[in-house]
Structure formats: C-alpha cells, structure tokens
Amino acid sequence: MELTRRGFLKLSGASTAGFLLFKGVGWKKVLGFSPIPLRKDLVNETYTICCYCAVGCGALVVTEAGNIVNIEGNPDHPINEGTLCSKGQALSQFRTVDGKDNPRRLTKPLYRAPGATEWEEVDWDWAIDQVAKKIKKTRDENWLSTVDVGGTTYPVNRTDAIAEFGGGELDNEECYLLVKLARALGMVYVEHCARI
C-alpha cells in the first residue's frame, strides 16, 4: 500500500490518540467508567506513588498471588490524572520483566572490601552490623553539640560528617522512614536524586 505524507500523518495521529486513550489517560478518566471491571476475587489493586522523580504521580498496582501483573497511572490522582511517563510505565520492572522475576534485581547486599576490585554477596545481618558500627563511630567522633555565631553559642546537636542520599528505587514510604532515621541521628545533609 502506498502511503502519502498526509495519510501517514493522519494514521500516526489516530494511532497516537488510540494509544494515549488506552495506555496513558485510562478508560475510567475518558469514559467515566471502567468497561472491564477488575476481578477483585483474583487480583489485588494497590495505590502507590511513583518514586522516580519529584513529580509524585499516583499509580495503581495490580497483583495476582503476590506478583505484579500491571501498573498504570491512577486516573483519580490529582497530579497525573491517569498518565505516567515512560519511566513510570516501567515501574513494574523493579520486580518483573515480561512477567518473570527481574534477574538483575538485587536481593542481597553487596560488599567491596577496601582495595578489592570485586563485589561479594554478604549476609544481611553482617551488612547491617557494619553500617551501624560505622555510623556510630563517625557520629561519636564528629558530634557538634553547639556552634558559635558572632560570639553567641547555639545548641545544634548534629553531625556534619555523615550524609544520606536516597535513590529513585526507594518508594515514598521508605523515603519517609529514611529521613526520620537521618534526622534522629543528627544528620543535616539529606538529599535525593529526584531533587537534583
């Protein structure tokens, strides 16, 4: 079939509109109802917030027997109203790729000893113990109870020697808990890749 330039543009427009209607905007938003009701006896639907950037889009996660079978934008969310960008649409790949467990997903901590070139898998208890010991030592050795500003002493109770840096794979609730922990330890340098 020969396709003229005008025909090609029409076809592209129609395809894009169809795709957006189906994938991005969501049937419920467009039609006011969902034509294919979820079989809630078979699957669970959970609300979450995309953690990839600071926009904070809402998403619906559908799981079957504990496995993610679909993630799409939440049409009732005031920020994204059912849409998700390409990164948000890949949210399920934290766990699965093409319906199978993502083989690149880390499930154990990795440790690279000083001077070593290779990472090795280590036990969770050992890793948590090491992190706790290093935080305690650094905090104790670098604790600031007060600072002097212009001849006046102010209590600050903080450490400037440790910083916390969150990543895009942490979800909203995990970030909340991590910031609580950082503040309780007296850290002031708390950052996240979504904010940079």
Nearest CB to ligand SF4, comparing residues 93 and 185? 93
Nearest CB to ligand SF4, comparing residues 80 and 159? 80
**Residue 167 binds to ligand SF4 (criterion: CB under 6 A):** no
- Sites for ligand SF4 among residues 86-125 (CB under 6 A): 87-88
* Shortest Cβ 68–ligand SF4 spacing (Å): 16
How far is the first Cα of the chain from the last one, in angstroms, to the nearest whole number? Answer: 49
Helices (H) and strands (E) in the chain, counts: 5, 10
Identify which range of 78-86, 98-106, 113-121, 176-184 contacts ligand SF4 by CB under 6 A.
78-86
CB atoms within 10 A of CB 167: 12
**Candidate list 85, 97, 144, 170; residue touching ligand SF4; CB under 6 A:** 85
Identify which range of 2-10, 82-90, 115-123, 145-153 contacts ligand SF4 by CB under 6 A.
82-90
- Tokens describing residue 94: 């934290």
* Shortest Cβ 75–ligand SF4 spacing (Å): 14
CB atoms within 10 A of CB 57: 23
DSSP of 130-167: HHHHHHHHHHHHTEEEEEEETTEEEEEEEEEEEEEEE-
194 close to 185: Cβ distance less than 8 angstroms: no
- Three-state secondary structure readout of 158-187: EEEEEEEEECCCCCHHHHHHHHHHHHHCCE
* Binding residues with ligand SF4: total (CB under 6 A): 11
Q: How far apart are CA 191 and CA 120, in angstroms?
A: 27
**Candidate list 84, 158, 166, 192; residue touching ligand SF4; CB under 6 A:** 84
Which single residue brings its beta carbon nearest to ligand SF4? 88
Nearest CB to ligand SF4, comparing residues 88 and 186? 88
- Sites for ligand SF4 among residues 35-64 (CB under 6 A): 50, 52-53, 55-57
* Shortest Cβ 89–ligand SF4 spacing (Å): 7
Q: How far apart are CA 164 and CA 162, in angstroms?
A: 7
* Shortest Cβ 195–ligand SF4 spacing (Å): 12
Q: Which residues bind ligand SF4 (CB under 6 A)?
A: 50, 52-53, 55-57, 80, 84-85, 87-88
